[in-house]
């Protein structure tokens, strides 16, 4: 009678709903990523999505996207698109789920919780029928009073046991209030006791033991919309999730979730709780914060121009420290080949290290062709640095030649960690950028004056170098390193010092890739112009 009073509009039975979500009948794991469309994607979200994707796909299973949009206050327009698109740039694609704020694919939907109200209510109705759930009419004020009383006698806080004042309200009284339109929430009638334990084997944290839940938690809010707890149980059951992998802020709610699965008569999925990504501040660890740390936002990596593979490789490395060994042994394998092991993940929270990310990214980029580096830098620059994009586009061949320096061999150069580094890396090849820089150290005019006399762009590399060596000796520098090391006091310096002076004159920098290659690319006219500034 109570169930009909509260849920008269629900005509389907739980069995009928269940029949619409038949068992998937597949061997592999079914995982999901279940974000709220708040418009902000935290790096921890990408991390979780990556792990879920791997756990499904490395077993031939299914990975789907469920949008948890029951809290309209937190939702932003375009939030779903933001999630789908930003994950897609990192190669994270879903087999099923929401594809935009209005579209979706897959047989286990709707995949947006806001579209599933009647599904949740079907199971809520059934719990009421079984005497496992009941309406609670307490106002905020009344709940506050209960809390104060509990505080004053040092009882555990919350709505449970004898404090659950509406638990056994007679039907007639409930009916009167419902008919009057008094708002109510629906609560689970908990049989749990803090003296008893629930056990669970967490995929990351291992065996966990926690006290049972004794609270009559809210399962439907006064607008009939479910709480996270209830929606999670209903959705993950119907959608056939085998592995719930989520942030460990949910670990403390696990007893509630296990209880819900039990009371609903369902087998609970496996759980794995991911510790948050941490950051070192001084000597203490704290969570990467959306407010304080720009690198907490997934959009940051796009803005800085990290290739998505670099970020993914870094996150794999953060998930499993053995990833690095694997990468060393399989330098050319796609990262998709790596088999992630959840049991090897950090229990307390992996430390985010941007230097490590840069290292990994430099290696990723060092393996790309010059053309690919050009294409990706240009794509980035078109959004974030239009002037530089124009410079790149003005002479593609020239830019690709620059980017080809030191690339392709056994030990490629690793100068570039992200596309926003490229402009600085290439700057001295462009007169307009070179003009904005200053020599990194003083240029010895005597050396350049002499060098200009022998400089010939058509020299091959050996001739070029021999000329510099001979000139060095003539000017009192050691042409031979051994001789220099044996008696340094006999020389003004050595041929390396002379080369550095020439390098600075041509590039304004003391550290660059091969100077011969640079001069060949810059060309005779420009090299001579730069040298001539120092001729006395
Ligand atoms: N919407 C929840 C969150 O964003 C989902 C947690 C889960 O994966 O179950 O934290």
Q: Please, what are the averages of pLDDT over each run of 10 residues along the chain (536 residues)?
A: 95 97 96 95 96 97 97 90 95 97 96 97 98 97 97 97 95 97 98 96 97 98 97 98 97 98 98 96 92 95 97 97 95 95 93 96 97 98 98 98 93 96 97 96 96 96 97 95 94 96 98 96 97 95
* Rounded distance from Cα 32 to ligand 1 centre (Å): 10
The answer to whether 403 touches 374, Cβ cutoff 8 Å, is yes
The answer to whether 116 touches 110, Cβ cutoff 8 Å, is yes
Residue nearest to atom 1 of ligand 1 (CA): 35
The answer to whether 61 touches 92, Cβ cutoff 8 Å, is no
| pLDDT for 72 | 84
CA dist list (Å): 297 to 78, 235, 369, 449: 17, 28, 29, 52
The answer to whether 298 touches 45, Cβ cutoff 8 Å, is yes
Q: What's the burial of 29, exposed, middle or buried (CB within 10 Å: 0-12/13-18/19+)?
A: buried
Q: Which atom of ligand 1 is nearest to the CA of 35?
A: 4
What is the pTM assigned to this prediction?
Answer: 0.92
CA dist list (Å): 323 to 185, 233, 282: 48, 33, 27
Q: Structure tokens of 404?
A: 């080809």
Ligand 1 mutation pick, 30, 32, 35, max ligand atoms within 8 A of CB: 35
| pLDDT for 414 | 96
Closest CA to 319 of 59, 91, 86, 54: 54
- The whole-angstrom separation of Cα 399 and Cα 487 is 43
* Rounded distance from Cα 231 to ligand 1 centre (Å): 11
Q: Which atom of ligand 1 is nearest to the CA of 48?
A: 8
Residues near ligand 1 with C-beta < 6 Å?
Answer: 34-36, 68, 232, 246-247, 250
Q: Structure tokens of 454?
A: 């022998």
Q: Structure tokens of 172?
A: 């007639």
Q: Which atom of ligand 1 is nearest to the CA of 250?
A: 6
| pLDDT for 297 | 96
Three-state SS across 429-452?
HCHHHHCCCCCCCCCCHHHHHHHH
Partner residues linked to 198 by β-bridges: 210
| pLDDT for 533 | 96
Residue nearest to atom 10 of ligand 1 (CA): 35
CA dist list (Å): 452 to 21, 352, 457, 526: 80, 50, 11, 13
* Rounded distance from Cα 249 to ligand 1 centre (Å): 9
Residue nearest to atom 5 of ligand 1 (CA): 34
DSSP category for residue 512: -
Q: Structure tokens of 242?
A: 């085998």
Closest CA to 192 of 218, 220, 161, 171: 161
Indicate the length of the chain as a whole number: 536
| pLDDT for 204 | 97
CA dist list (Å): 311 to 229, 334, 335, 349, 385: 32, 14, 11, 18, 21
């Amino acid at each position: 009678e109570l169930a009909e009073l509260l849920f008269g509009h629900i005509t389907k039975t739980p069995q009928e709903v269940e029949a619409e979500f038949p068992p998937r009948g597949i061997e592999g794991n079914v995982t999901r990523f279940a974000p709220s469309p708040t418009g902000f994607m935290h790096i921890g979200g990408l991390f979780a999505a990556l792990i879920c994707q791997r756990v499904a796909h490395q077993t031939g299973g299914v990975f789907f996207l469920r949008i948890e949009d029951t809290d309209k206050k937190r939702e932003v327009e375009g939030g779903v698109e933001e999630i789908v698109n930003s994950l897609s740039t990192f190669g994270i694609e879903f087999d099923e789920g929401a594809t935009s704020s209005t579209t979706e694919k897959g047989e286990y939907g709707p995949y947006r919780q806001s579209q599933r109200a009647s599904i949740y209510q079907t199971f809520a109705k059934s719990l009421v029928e079984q005497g496992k759930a009941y309406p609670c009419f307490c106002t905020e004020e009344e709940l506050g009073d209960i809390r104060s009383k509990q505080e004053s006698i040092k009882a555990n806080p919350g709505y449970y046991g004898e404090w659950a004042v509406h638990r056994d309200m007679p039907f007639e009284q409930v009916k009167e209030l419902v008919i009057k339109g008094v708002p109510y929430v629906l609560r689970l009638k908990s049989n749990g006791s803090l003296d008893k334990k629930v056990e669970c084997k967490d995929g990351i944290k291992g065996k966990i033991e926690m006290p049972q839940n004794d609270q009559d938690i809210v399962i439907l809010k006064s607008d009939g919309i479910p709480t996270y707890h209830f929606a999670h149980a209903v959705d993950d059951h119907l959608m056939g999730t085998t592995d719930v992998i989520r942030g460990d802020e949910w670990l403390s709610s696990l007893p509630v979730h296990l209880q819900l699965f039990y009371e609903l008569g369902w087998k609970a999925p496996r759980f794995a709780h991911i510790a948050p990504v941490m950051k070192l501040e001084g000597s203490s660890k704290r969570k990467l914060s959306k407010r304080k740390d720009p690198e907490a936002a997934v959009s940051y990596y796009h803005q800085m121009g990290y290739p998505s593979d670099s970020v993914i490789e870094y996150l794999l490395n953060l998930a499993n420290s053995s990833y690095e060994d694997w990468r060393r042994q399989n330098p050319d394998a796609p990262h998709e080949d790596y088999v992630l092991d959840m049991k090897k993940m950090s229990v307390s929270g992996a430390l985010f290290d941007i230097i490590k990310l840069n290292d990994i990214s430099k290696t990723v980029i060092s393996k790309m062709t010059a053309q690919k580096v050009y294409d990706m830098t240009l794509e980035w620059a078109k959004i974030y640095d239009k002037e530089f994009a124009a410079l790149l586009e003005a002479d593609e061949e020239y830019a690709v030649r620059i980017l080809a320096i030191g690339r392709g061999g056994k030990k490629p150069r690793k100068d570039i960690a992200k596309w926003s580094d490229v402009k600085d890396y290439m700057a001295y090849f462009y007169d307009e950028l070179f003009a904005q820089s200053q020599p990194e150290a003083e240029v010895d005019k005597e050396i350049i004056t002499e060098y200009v006399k022998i400089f010939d762009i058509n020299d091959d590399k050996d001739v070029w170098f021999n000329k510099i060596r001979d000139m060095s000796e003539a000017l009192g520098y050691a042409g031979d390193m051994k001789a220099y090391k044996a008696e340094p006091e006999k020389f003004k310096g050595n041929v390396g010092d002379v080369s550095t002076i020439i390098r600075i004159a041509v590039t304004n920098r003391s550290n660059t890739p091969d100077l011969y290659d640079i001069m060949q690319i810059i060309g005779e006219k420009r090299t001579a112009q730069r040298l001539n500034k120092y001729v006395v």
